[in-house]
Structure 1
Amino acid sequence: MPNLTDFDASNNRFNGTSTESIIGGLSHLEFLDVSSNSLVGVISEVNLIKYPKLESLFFSNNSALRLKFNSNWVPPFQLKTIELASCKLGPQFPSWLQTQSQLSHLDISDNDISSVVPNWFSNISSKLWRLNMSFNLLYGTLPYFPLIGAYTVDLSFNQFHGSIPSSLSNASYAYLSDNNFTSCSSFLCEAKDVVTGIIDMSNNQLFGSLPDCWGKFNSSLFFLKLDYNDFSREIPSSIGSLTNIQSLQLGNNNFSGALPSTLENCTSLRALDFGWNSLERTIPSWIGERFTALVFLNLKSNKFVGNIPLSLCHLSDIQILDLSSNGLSGVIPSCLANFTSMVHSNYTSTEIQIVRHDFIGDPQSTEILSIGILNPPSLSSQIIWKGVEYEYKSILGLLRLIDLSSNKLTGEIPAELTRLVELTQLNLSWNELSGDIPEKIGNLSKLESLDLSHNKLSGKIPKSLAELSLLNHLDLSNNQLSGKIPTSTQLQSFNASTYTMNHGLYGPPLTDWHESGTPSHGFLASTHDQEDETWFNLSWFYKGIGVGFTIGFCGVCINFVIINYYWRNSYFMFMHSVRNILSKGLLRRKLAWIDRSLN
């Protein structure tokens, strides 16, 4: 087929360099795609010089394939699309690209390119529709290169530093995370005719005040990720002009002050992450009143005080609520049981539709990707899961989590929380909660992690807790619980530390003595059965033995040392008589007991 123009052999299992014999004679080829195979060897200018009419070239995802071209090579073709991701193109920036003046789509990501972006790159950037140079070792400051109609620009996971150029804000999707950028003022404030929909500048070294020029983004921006930087001072009020923002992540910075009241205008919010800052005052009631579509709320590790607003109970779609490590006080609102997403097993949250322009030759072609709010591009969060902090990304939407730990909450655990049958983690540790553990806690059949430690909870461990077959992390330590630990394969499988420092608990996995030689719990049962249990404080019994021994020993020593011979002799004669009387009494009681037994 010498007149073949399109050859697509992508996503197969081709290996070796056998494709050379198949496509070697196709001199009319315009479209060549052998991506996502297992090709090996070296592709050089000798292999591509045979295709003067080539417009689209796809070699991506052939990790053992090396692309090696002379630095002064001038290709015989003018490409519009170049896809060379995850090959071996580096370490130098491919200089032959400067001859490609018609480029609209360039992907050279994950190629171990270790160099600066050359100044001539501005000559080919103006027509770029998509640019991906992520996951390389590119360094230095970014040169100014015009992006007139770019849709997606991805420069993430490199080593760029300095200021982010203003021209990049012309891209609809701007991924600039995981670099060493220190300033974003030009990028945010100097650009004109901004249409940016996604900005990800997380994991950089941006510092100082967050620029107060969000008004120009108006209704275009719907995803903003600035976490893991060093921003400080108050969050600017113009952030409230982002009326269509759906995901706002400003966590892991040094923001202070109160949340700006203008933020209540952002009623489209589905994910809000301000965790790990120094925000203070009370949690605004308008979060629950205005953000009724919120699915993810993270305010952990700030300085919020006061009660948990009752308005948060209006967040029926909420899947992750993290208010841990603040100064919150008061009781846990029982109306948290209104979280519909945690009550109904057939509940599905409304999804975000992100329009992503994925094209080969037609820039106007679109693909609608239905992406749940907890899995849009780059959405991630640090979550304490089963006692360990993790950063969740792709599976964040699978969690149903309430974390109110490390506050000053008082009162009882609301029994209504046992209605949240879809809950996978409940963490109420390090508070001042009292009363009993809700008897119907076993209704939380999806629960995988439960932490009620370091409170003042009392009473027995509910037997229904033994019914939680999915539970694999449990901590009830440092409370005032009592009684026998319910018997089940699940509860006995946990380490004894799960139950320690409850001076009334007993039964496996607790043992009578720890390795240190001290009792594993302050109280042990003298007699107990399943119907009735009688208790006494064994620690006082041990203290009494010690005191009695000390007094008795001192008394004997005094007799020998201080008292004269006459009184000492009389004392021992008296003690001898007492012993005889007691012995006879014991003997009579023993004989009487034998007599009753025989009769």
Structure 2
Amino acid sequence: MSGFITQSLGQLASLVALDFSENSWEGAIITEAHLDNLSSLKEVSITKQSTNISMLFNISSDWLPPFKLTYIYIRSCQLGPRFLAWLRNQNELKTLVLNNARISHPFPDWFWKLDLLLDELYVGSNQLSGEIPNSLQFHCPSNVNLSWNCFEGPLPLWSSNVSSLYLNDNLFSGPIPQKIGGMPYLTDLDISWNSLSGSIPLSIGNLNALTTLVISNNRLSGKIPEFWNNFSVLYIVNMSNNNLSGKIPTSNQFQTFNDPSIYEGNLGLCGLPLATNCTDNNKTPHFPGEEDTDDGDKFEKQWLYLSINSRKVLIRYCIFCIGKFLELKKAVEENLKKDECSLIT
């Protein structure tokens, strides 16, 4: 279907489900007149696989709908720039999907007070901003996707019923909360491309159901914990471009993650599958038979030892410089993201 949407749609008082998905509504506009008398409406689905915006919602901020929706799935329609004010009385929602909807303002305070119990919250690919409280509740299982926005503050975690959590490509900062290990149904976790710091919490080892763990492009530091034998179904891992250090674990499960790109950008990491070998910095090299050699041999070996150590110093200096460059690159990317978000909001 294509063209304009007739306002007589608003006279279908018995209509329960409205689905305009995968149609070519070029220039179509939805107003209050299309919705005013749909008192039985429970579900709205307007989706497109294409990211091109073809439908516009032009609804007054003081309009209150006559219906109580349980299901909203809207993708690639222009709902913004402000968050949908007409949702403020929709306290029966179970599914809320507003993906690629050109919303560029914070969630309003009233949204967090709706006392919703959700199956799915998907507001990815907008420019939503502000901090996210931990007050939302979810059914089991449930999916949360806040990716590709401008959210900031500490990483939000909700009820233990969440099964997939996508918080990537935002401005979240601070440590990964220890209580993340209290989400036993979690199968997919992507918190990449934020500004998270601190170490990888040991409590992640409690997430036995994980199949995907992506923590790349943050500021995480310290060693990779030895908890990988807990994951029997984990098959996607990415921890690249952080400040992790030490030896890459060699447990049986971890040996399956043998792609170097999983670990690249962590200059302090060593061991397979990286080309960087692990060395004991506290151990002094010892040459066999050194005590029995003459002064000439000792001099040659001492010269060799000094040459090797000079090369080690040079390599470490190069690594230090590369590390500083990567830190600067990360800072520039974060500032560009912040500038982009501030321009839109």
TM-score, normalisation: structure 1 = 0.45
Q: Which residue of 1 aligns with 2:2?
A: 181
C-alpha distance in structure 2 between counterparts of 1:489 and 1:194, whole Å: 61
C-alpha distance in structure 2 between counterparts of 1:415 and 1:253, whole Å: 38
Give 1:268 deviation, angstroms: 1.0
Would you say the 8 A contact 1:270–1:291 is kept in 2?
no
* Structure 1 residues 453 and 539: CA distance shift in structure 2, 3 A: farther
SS in 1 for 2:227: helix
C-alpha distance in structure 2 between counterparts of 1:445 and 1:240, whole Å: 44
* Structure 1 residues 256 and 459: CA distance shift in structure 2, 3 A: same
Would you say the 8 A contact 1:436–1:460 is kept in 2?
yes
The match for 1:322 among 139, 142, 145 is: 145
The match for 1:526 among 279, 283, 287 is: 279
C-alpha distance in structure 2 between counterparts of 1:296 and 1:251, whole Å: 14
Does 1:496 find its partner at 2:260?
yes
C-alpha distance in structure 2 between counterparts of 1:528 and 1:540, whole Å: 12
Give 1:242 deviation, angstroms: 4.8
Does 1:199 find its partner at 2:26?
no
Would you say the 8 A contact 1:182–1:204 is kept in 2?
no
Q: Percent identity?
A: 29
SS in 2 for 1:411: strand
C-alpha distance in structure 1 between counterparts of 2:244 and 2:142, whole Å: 30
Would you say the 8 A contact 1:430–1:455 is kept in 2?
yes
SS in 1 for 2:31: coil
Instruction: Please give the residue correspondences for 1:454-465 in structure 2 after superposition, counting only pairs within 5 Å.
Output: 454-465=217-228
Would you say the 8 A contact 1:215–1:238 is kept in 2?
no
Give 1:429 deviation, angstroms: 0.2
C-alpha distance in structure 2 between counterparts of 1:200 and 1:456, whole Å: 43
Does 1:480 find its partner at 2:227?
no
Q: Which residue of 2 aligns with 1:341?
A: 161
Give 1:408 deviation, angstroms: 0.8
C-alpha distance in structure 2 between counterparts of 1:227 and 1:239, whole Å: 23
Would you say the 8 A contact 2:240–2:262 is kept in 1?
yes
Does 1:244 find its partner at 2:8?
no
* Structure 1 residues 318 and 261: CA distance shift in structure 2, 3 A: farther
Would you say the 8 A contact 1:285–1:309 is kept in 2?
no
C-alpha distance in structure 2 between counterparts of 1:405 and 1:297, whole Å: 15
List per-residue Cα deviations over 1:82-129 (Å, max 9, x = no partner). Answer: xxxxxxxxxxxxxxxxxxxxxxxxxxxxxxxxxxxxxxxxxxxxxxxx
C-alpha distance in structure 2 between counterparts of 1:413 and 1:543, whole Å: 29
* Structure 1 residues 543 and 305: CA distance shift in structure 2, 3 A: closer
Q: Which residue of 2 aligns with 1:231?
A: 55
Q: Which residue of 2 aligns with 1:294?
A: 118
Does 1:505 find its partner at 2:269?
yes
Q: Counterpart of 1:449 in structure 2: which amino acid?
A: T
Aligned residue pair count: 285
C-alpha distance in structure 2 between counterparts of 1:227 and 1:538, whole Å: 59
Does 1:212 find its partner at 2:22?
no
List per-residue Cα deviations over 1:377-421 (Å, max 9, x = no partner). Answer: xxxxxxxxxxxxxxxxxxxxxxx2111100011100001011001
C-alpha distance in structure 1 between counterparts of 2:83 and 2:134, whole Å: 18
Q: Which residue of 2 aligns with 1:469?
A: 232
Would you say the 8 A contact 1:276–1:301 is kept in 2?
yes
C-alpha distance in structure 2 between counterparts of 1:299 and 1:539, whole Å: 49
* Structure 1 residues 526 and 231: CA distance shift in structure 2, 3 A: same
* Structure 1 residues 440 and 465: CA distance shift in structure 2, 3 A: farther
Does 1:332 find its partner at 2:96?
no
Would you say the 8 A contact 2:160–2:184 is kept in 1?
no
Moved over 6 A (4+): 536-539
Q: Counterpart of 1:259 in structure 2: which amino acid?
A: F
Higher relative contact order (CA 8 A, sep 6+): 2
The match for 1:262 among 86, 100, 106 is: 86
C-alpha distance in structure 2 between counterparts of 1:540 and 1:208, whole Å: 66
Give 1:544 deviation, angstroms: 8.5
Q: Which of the two has higher C-alpha Rg?
A: 1
C-alpha distance in structure 2 between counterparts of 1:241 and 1:500, whole Å: 52
Give 1:301 deviation, angstroms: 0.7
List per-residue Cα deviations over 1:106-160 (Å, max 9, x = no partner). Answer: xxxxxxxxxxxxxxxxxxxxxxxxxxxxxxxxxxxxxxxxxxxxxxxxxxxxxxx
SS in 2 for 1:417: helix
Q: Counterpart of 1:182 in structure 2: which amino acid?
A: G
Give 1:283 deviation, angstroms: 1.6
* Structure 1 residues 408 and 538: CA distance shift in structure 2, 3 A: farther
Would you say the 8 A contact 2:62–2:85 is kept in 1?
no
Give 1:257 deviation, angstroms: 1.8
* Structure 1 residues 504 and 208: CA distance shift in structure 2, 3 A: same
Would you say the 8 A contact 1:287–1:311 is kept in 2?
no
C-alpha distance in structure 2 between counterparts of 1:223 and 1:474, whole Å: 36
Q: Which residue of 1 aligns with 2:178?
A: 415
Q: Counterpart of 1:204 in structure 2: which amino acid?
A: N
* Structure 1 residues 414 and 467: CA distance shift in structure 2, 3 A: same
C-alpha distance in structure 1 between counterparts of 2:97 and 2:28, whole Å: 19
C-alpha distance in structure 2 between counterparts of 1:537 and 1:499, whole Å: 27
* Structure 1 residues 297 and 490: CA distance shift in structure 2, 3 A: same
C-alpha distance in structure 1 between counterparts of 2:181 and 2:78, whole Å: 36
SS in 1 for 2:181: helix
User: Any stretches of 5+ residues in structure 1 without a counterpart?
Assistant: 1-179, 343-399, 513-523, 530-535, 546-599
Would you say the 8 A contact 2:271–2:278 is kept in 1?
no
Give 1:194 deviation, angstroms: 2.2
Q: CA RMSD in A?
A: 2.6
